[in-house]
Copies of this chain bind each other. A is one copy, B any other.
Amino acid sequence: MTQHTATMSASWIWYPGDFEIRLHEKMSVKRRSRGVLYPAYWRLDRHYSNVTFRYTYDLPQEERITVAAEGSFSLYVDGKGNDRSDDAVITLPAGRHEINVSVFNDIEVPALFIEGANIRTNSSWEVTSYQNDWVPAGNWTFDSPSSPPSAFRLALTPQEPVSEEMKEGHLLLDFGRETFGYLRFHNLRGSGMVNIYYGESMAEALSTEECYSLDRFEAGEAARSSVDGIYTLNDAKAYRYVWIHADTAVNWDHVSMLYEYVPVTHRSTFECSDPKLNEIYNMSLYTLHLNMREFFLDGIKRDRWVWSGDAYQAFLMNYYSFFDLDVTRRTLIALRGKDPLVMHFNTILDYSLYWFISLYDYYLYTGDIDFIRQYYDRAVTLMDFCLAQRNEEGLLEGRQQDWVFVDWADFKNNGAVSTIQILLARSLEVMSLLAAKLGNVSASTSYVTLAEEIKEKTIRLFWDDSRGGLLHHRVDGVTQSTLTKHASMFALTYDYLSLEQRDSVIRNVMLNPGVPQIRTPYMRFHELAVLCESGQHDYVRQEVLSYWGGMIELGATTFWEEYDPSLADDAHFGMYGGTFGKSLCHAWGAGPIYLFGKYFLGITPSSPEYQTYRIQPNLGGLAFMKGTVPTGKGQVHIEMDHSAIHVESTHGTGLLTFTSAEPPTCEEAEVRSAGNGRYEVAIKAGNRYSIAYRN
């Protein structure tokens, strides 16, 4: 939650994390499989129902305050617990006093709102769950007694279908592209049953027996519950097409929908000489936006669950587009949940580890050390939990009950998987960096020492000189011969390889057709990023065109959970044994946002909060490109073609690096040579820089 300490305005407060944890509990059971509940299959954590808030004030005169609570409450002063009040208006005595307010709520999160001339609830209040834990209260943008946290809802706006037609005597609506929300019937009349079949594809909507989402209601009842002549269905769904089967005695004027979404600012742009890439970029933005809701979801049709590995990527895409930190924070908090840690996040070992890396990314992109401070303890106990799972060689292994995922692919993940060790080493580095930022030197040292140890051991035990990459796993002390791209790719991402090893990995692993190809957009995200890190922009551009462009060719309006060009027609829609099991709007499909922002426009923070950052634009075979990347408070804008680069920024200090075939010129700043045809220009906020160069 954003800390509102700077302002004196009152806001609703609660036990930190509990708003997010309660919201996560509710959202995790929204999934319906053909109308029937399909809850998340991991422990859903719950808010504390019984908490006490406290605050110490010192005032020269008494003060009248108003008190609102979600739940039952009692207020007492100076520890005199027998002398309690639950009045809505209370006069507090002058002088120095401590107020305590106990709040109980076993349905929604216990929350408190107090407003007086000076005494107002905000994050300078503390709260306890009675576990020896007086901690700063959580709060957010709930700044009025009439909008308590439990009333939180996403935004709604009406949408109309773009076309209607009759299919087999039933109305088929097409909303033009994938959307999400509540179907509405205007002026519903008559009586009888109405069955609704939703489809992300037309084939799905037309398959009454196999479409994933459906609804059913009795028209007479529904009409009676209409508001202003409109009957709105209870549950929001993901769809482009809707096929409506109604009994003949049922009539209506019109069907529309209420689109449900998080209001965001489109803070990024990307436009280049290839219109297909522009289309891919914008469709990626829409795909990501649909999946960023109460939390970052995997996909809006099917699971609607919060998966840590999926979220890790969505966080990065978000930093290069909407830079919405509320959804990011909610997701980080919900994923971590509460103690005791018994199972891994989403039951997946790797998904616990991604959380550390996501937490550090959040810090790097935002500089929000207050948030890190608030949740650092939860990171420490998560790391304790993970480290306890190391085998006798000190390598992290899945337990019987753990899912070691890595990727949807044909390999075994038993024993110690090298990718897991790389993710653990990075997680430990991240914990070391955060511990240091919080002034905990000894923890920082011990984390980094362990990180180095695991990194060294992993390279030593898994690196295969003859094959030029990291082998996949090690069982009972013996490294197995399977070679996959995954570990090498992450080792390259986190800079764990020597220069020769990097070159070898790119040549012998990443670009080697003999190594099993990566087929999921999930891992393609990392694969293509790594290829960009190695300067393979041209190759990446072509891959994006063929993979994402391929989906568009097949009529996609948002990007899919998986895409296999070899499949025919409606076979694309199947997955997990269901004819329409595949999600056609999946967050991890939006990877081009990240690729274009970070590797083509080339913007990366080099210190927290973008106080310093790098600009390493790369046309990757394009004639020109221009675009904007948000940098927290500000943004960087770049335009580039084969002879000119223009850069403009509003905050922080950038270092533009580029290659030129002849010495470049710039009127606004000095151009320094970095050798080997590389040049650098320091970019200050507020100026526009134009560089003449030759690509």
Contact = CB atoms under 8 A, between A and B. Distances in A.
Interface of A: 25-26, 28-29, 33-44, 46, 48-50, 52, 72-74, 81-86, 102, 104, 106-107, 129-133, 339-340, 342-343, 347, 401, 576-578, 581
Contacts of A578: 82
B340 A104 contact: no
Contacts of A347: 130
B131 A37 contact: no
A132 B343 contact: yes
A294 to B, nearest CB: 15
Contacts of A131: 43, 342-343
Contacts of A106: 25-26, 46, 107
18 contacts: A25-B106, A29-B104, A33-B81, A37-B73, A38-B81, A38-B82, A39-B102, A39-B104, A42-B130, A43-B50, A44-B48, A46-B46, A46-B106, A82-B576, A82-B578, A82-B581, A131-B343, A133-B342
Nearest to A73: B37
Chain A interface helix/strand/loop/mixed? loop
A101 to B, nearest CB: 10
Given A49-B25, A106-B26, A131-B43, A37 B72 contact: yes
A34 B76 CA distance: 13
Nearest to A47: B46
B576 A41 contact: no
Given A86-B37, A102-B39, A343 B130 contact: yes
Nearest to A347: B130
A36 B82 CA distance: 9
A49 B131 CA distance: 22
A26 B106 CA distance: 8
Given A25-B49, A49-B25, A82 B132 contact: no
A33 B130 contact: no
A104 B37 contact: yes
Most chain-B CB neighbours within 10 Å: which of A39, A81, A104?
A39
A102 B37 contact: yes
**Copies of this chain present:** 2
Contacts of A129: 43
Contacts of A576: 82
Contact of A49 (B46, B52, B132, B343): B46
A343 B49 CA distance: 17
B34 A39 contact: no
Most chain-B CB neighbours within 10 Å: which of A28, A81, A104?
A104
Contacts of A44: 48-50
A193 to B, nearest CB: 16
A132 to B, nearest CB: 4
A613 to B, nearest CB: 41
B50 A82 contact: no
A42 B48 CA distance: 11
A681 to B, nearest CB: 54
Contacts of A84: 33-34, 36-38
Given A34-B84, A37-B74, A132-B401, 5 more contacts: A37-B72, A38-B102, A43-B50, A43-B129, A82-B581
Contacts of A35: 86
Contacts of A107: 106-107
A43 B130 contact: yes
Nearest to A339: B340
Contacts of A48: 43-44
A243 to B, nearest CB: 20
Nearest to A581: B82
Nearest to A85: B36
Most chain-B CB neighbours within 10 Å: which of A37, A48, A72, A104?
A37
Contacts of A83: 33
A448 B369 CA distance: 49
A86 B29 contact: no
Contacts of A26: 106
A577 B52 CA distance: 22
Contacts of A37: 72-74, 84, 86, 102, 104
A376 to B, nearest CB: 17
A578 B84 CA distance: 13
Nearest to A43: B130
A523 to B, nearest CB: 25
A658 B81 CA distance: 53
Contacts of A339: 339-340
A129 B401 CA distance: 14
A52 B41 CA distance: 9
Contacts of A340: 339-340
A74 B31 CA distance: 12
A90 to B, nearest CB: 12
Contacts of A41: 52, 130
A19 to B, nearest CB: 15
Nearest to A75: B36
A129 B130 CA distance: 24
A36 B84 CA distance: 6
Contacts of A133: 342
